[in-house]
Amino acid sequence: MAYGTDTLVSVEVGLESYRTEVYNMKVNSFRLRANMDLLEEEREDAHQRNVKYLLQASQYYYSGIKKRSFGVGGLVLRELAAFMLARQGKLQLNWEGPYKVTQIVYLGTYWLETLGGEAIKNTWHASRLRKFYQ
């Protein structure tokens, strides 16, 4: 079967076989039209399966992510590797701080300041921050 039609090998054209005996042009064209009518439904089913697969894949991906959120006034540590061009060595500190959260820009993004009140230049994402415990 190729695209809903019966195919014949060139050897079968000259010889009598079951397939050449049973072939009926009207039945074949009717089945082709029926397949064309169902084509849109097949496409819709394939699209639904694809959407379901993408949803399952995204749920699996996001299942391992830990959500972090900080309140205004909370103390956090800032990741050093996020803004340094090259690490100086493997014994260097990974986190610095503490810093105070001054404003929540939008979910997961924060403005920070030092404990002395000096504002930090850029916003920081929660993935680059860690809660500071005293």
What is the residue extent of each domain of the chain? 10-63, 75-131
pTM over 0.95: no
- What local confidence, expressed as pLDDT, does residue 82 receive? 66
- What local confidence, expressed as pLDDT, does residue 52 receive? 97
DSSP assignment string, the chain: -BTTB----HHHHHS--HHHHH--HHHHHHHHHHHHHHHHHHHHHHHHHHHHHHHHHHHHHHHTPPP----TT-EEEEEGGGT-SS-S-TTS-SEEEEEEEEEEEETTEEEEEETTSPBPSS-EEGGGEEE---
- What local confidence, expressed as pLDDT, does residue 109 receive? 93
Q: In this structure, which topology does domain 75-131 adopt according to CATH?
A: SH3 type barrels. (2.30.30)
Q: For 81-129, how does the pLDDT look when each residue is reduced to its tens digit (9 = 90+)?
A: 766 666 667 788 889 889 999 999 988 899 999 999 999 988 999 988 9
